[in-house]
Amino acid sequence: MDVRLSILLFIVMAGAFAIPPLARRLGLAPVVGELVFGVLIGPTLLDLPNYLGVADLSFLNHVANVGLLLILFLAGLELDFVELKRQGIVSVILGTLIMGGTLLLSFWGIRMMGLPVFLALVLSTSSADVILRVLRSGGHLQQPFGQTMLVVALVADFIALLGIVLYEIYIHSGFSLGMLLFLGLFIGGGLALYLLRLLIWWHPHFFQRLLLGEDPDELGVRSAMALMFAFVVLAAFFGVEAILGSFLAGAVAGFVFHRRGALEEKLAGFGYGFFIPLFYIWVGMSVDLKTLLSPQALLMVAALFALALLIKVVPAFILLITGRSFRQVLGAGVLLSSRLALIIAAAEIGREAGLLAAEPARQEQVYAALILLALLSCTVFPLLFRLIYPAQKKPQVAEPAPAPAR
């Protein structure tokens, strides 16, 4: 390996190691620190790759792409089908209605701004991962309100991901065979689900080993990665974005293994320990925020930020029909405005396909605006939610009275 590339990788990994404790001291999520660190060493400020003379960053790019696939796989794995079944169809319908309202307002706002239609789909995304962490840390996840919010976020992410992929297929192929081939990925997912359940029925002891906390061969992690890349290959075969294949692989794994336990913890450690931080640092390195220094660009960022909040808060008031309070509904809309991995993935897709703008320079400007929007939304909106709807205090258990002295 080239010495200059080794130095760059060392700096990146040293940053990935130091960022989490530093970010938490500042009250920020580690991912925010990783994005900022990437911006710091990227072309926006220090431009370390150019300074070190590293021209080929393909290795870092490939590792970052694996990180993105892992983010989507873990998002699919988070789908709790038992909880969805327990809550019934009502929560799914509510999520679909809220997402419908989000899309309508998003299309209207993007049209008013004179931006490409694809950006309406990009803005409609949420971040189920960020929402899950905020709800869990605030003690809301075990309450009906928190569970409804999580279902709404998952439905929003799935519809947004589906819309982004379908729109890209339509732009490249129109209403042709490509649109029908898209269904092949779901058919493949159904077949994989059937085969996995059949294999578990015939070989329960082997599959039980995959979920064990102590397995020297780590077959659970290996099998999860094999499943993820099998769906990535399947997605490529049908001409679909790899991120959808990865998400479906996680959903299939989550459906088959209801009690994932140690396996989910190992996969999270595997991803968040190496691949996922490198993805966020790479995103920061690949964006040049200097393109946003003009007054027109800053106005666009402000307008996108306001629209990103509006299109989530207004449809969230549908939740009033379920008996939720005004404060709960407002908090739900604000927290649903948090965006992170999916909006970054959508921005990457739009950048590669030329869907963000007609001119290359304008496209880089819009891409930078979306990355900055992700950075601001995953920082500001969770904080606003905590102000609107504070953390639930754990009930204090009264200490038993001391026994009378004899």
* Distance separating alpha carbons of residues 34 and 406, to the nearest angstrom: 62
Supply the pLDDT for residue 56: 86
Both tokens of 46, joined, read 């220090």
User: How far is the C-alpha of 230 from the C-alpha of 252, rounded, in Å?
Assistant: 12
Task: Assign residue 310 the CATH number of its domain.
Answer: 1.20.1530.20
Asked if 336 and 312 count as a contact pair (C-beta separation under 8 A), the reply is yes
First to last CA, the chain: 78
**Is residue 402, in this structure, part of any structural domain at all?**
no
pLDDT of residue 202: 73
Distance of alpha carbon 177 from alpha carbon 404, whole angstroms: 83
Task: Give the alpha-carbon dihedral of 70, 370, 19, 386, to 10 degrees.
Answer: -100
Flag whether 255 is in a domain: yes
DSSP conformational letter for 288: -
Residues 6+ apart with CB under 8 A from 259: 211
Considering only CA atoms, which of 256, 385, 282 is closest in space to residue 62? 282
pLDDT of amino acid 275: 93
Q: Rounded CA gap, 126 and 104, in Å?
A: 15
Biggest distance spanned by C-alpha atoms of the chain: 89
Residue 349 domain flag: yes
Q: Give pLDDT tens digits along the chain (406 positions).
A: 689 999 999 999 999 999 999 988 887 888 999 999 999 999 989 999 999 988 888 989 999 999 999 999 988 887 766 666 676 677 788 889 999 999 999 999 999 999 999 999 999 999 888 898 888 888 887 788 888 888 888 888 889 988 988 888 888 776 666 666 667 777 877 787 778 777 766 766 666 666 666 666 777 788 889 999 999 999 888 888 898 899 988 888 887 776 666 777 888 888 999 999 999 999 999 998 988 988 999 999 999 999 999 999 999 999 999 888 999 999 999 999 999 889 999 999 999 888 998 888 899 999 999 999 999 999 999 999 999 988 766 554 444 555 554 4
Residue 210 in domain: yes
CA–CA distance, 38 with 44 (Å, rounded to integer)? 9
Return the SS3 of 54. Answer: coil
Is 394 domain-assigned?
no
- With contact defined as beta carbons under 8 Å apart, do 325 and 143 qualify? no
Position 189 in a domain: yes
d(CA 208, CA 192): 18
Q: Is residue 85 part of a domain?
A: yes
In angstroms, the CA 319 to CA 227 distance is: 37
Tokens of 269: 């450690």
Structural domain count of the chain: 1
Nearest to 211 by CA among 256, 271, 160: 256
Inside any domain, residue 276: yes
The per-residue pLDDT for 82 is: 65
**The pLDDT of residue 406:** 41
313: exposed, middle or buried (Cβ count in 10 Å: 0-12, 13-18, 19+):
buried
Backbone φ and ψ of 377, nearest 5°: -70, -40
Residue 260's domain comprises 3-388
pTM score = 0.86
